[in-house]
Amino acid sequence: MTLPRVNQIGIIVLIAVVVTLPLLRSAFAETVMALAGLYVIVAIGLNLLVGYAGKISFGHHAFMAMGAYASGLLTVNFGWSPLLAMTTGAVGTGLLAFAIGAAILRLRGHYLAMITLALGQVTITLSTRWTEVTGGLTGVPGVPDFSVAGFAFDTKTKMYYLIWAVAITTIIFSFRIVESRFGRALRALGSHEPAAEALGVPVVRCRIQIFVLSAVLAAIAGSLYAHFLNYVNGTFFDLPVMIQLMAMLVVGGIGTAWGPVVGAVALMWASQSLGRYADYSLLIFGMLYGGMLLFVPLGICGEFARWFTQRRHAETQ
């Protein structure tokens, strides 16, 4: 399946930016973009769930924490390889998401949002209080550098490239999903679920599949986060992270192909540039979230797409 030309150009431009940015020799820019890459991975999965399938989750920060703690605990305490630990964390998170989805996603309404919100609070509470297992507020220090087949990503620049390699792969994968038959089924669910069901779309199965996929992507991002920082702490994945993720979708454009990427990069740069106003970040992101919903409901990419469509329509008149 060939990607649309605009997406091909976007991927080429993104790769060029990612490859050349470390040449600036700015540790700050490299770190911000590495973190943005991690959030791109999570935001893409969340966008497929919220923007296309129309189901809201407030627990993806918990899935990130699960992936991070799986990598941290399995590598530090049991000597597992980082790749095996990441895979185990992703599979375990996916199984948990499947169990939740099988029980909840058969129901209509906002049950998924409520149960994932509770899951997030329980996960963070356990990670910061269960000292014997997670280290409590001390966390898990000494997480080893990520390595594959003997090659160690033992510098921040190498991890930066690894993170964006995974992020760009995820972006391309999401494009293919959206253009596939499964993607069309997701859009049908998000637009009018009863009509989609009447047309033969397996509603429950599609819901569960996309929920599991989005949870696995969040776990992978959490695992990479642990190896990037060489440290895991449950406070890194508290509720404000979920607010940031939702704000990224709203700013970039919910249900748009490039919305998660634009939103994640823009908001990560904004959050890391607050300086002395960092203590007010939750308030700032909350106001931004509300303001975008009120005045720019389609987000940056959504508004651009609408403007471009209107312009082409005017030229054809």
* Locus of tokens 């980082």: 82
Relative to beta strand 140-141, strand 231-232 is antiparallel
Give the pLDDT means over successive 10-residue stretches in the chain (317 positions): 83 96 92 96 97 93 97 96 97 97 84 92 94 93 94 95 98 94 90 83 92 97 97 92 91 94 93 81 79 87 86 73
Is the pTM here over 0.85, yes or no? yes
- Residue 219: strand, helix, or coil: helix
Q: How far apart are CA 166 and CA 230, in angstroms?
A: 18
Question: Where do runs of H (alpha helix) occur along 130-180?
Answer: 131-134, 156-179
* Locus of tokens 């994932």: 116
How many Cβ atoms from other residues are within 10 Å of residue 21's Cβ?
17
pLDDT digit string, tens, across residues 38-84: 999 999 999 999 999 999 999 999 999 999 999 999 999 999 999 99
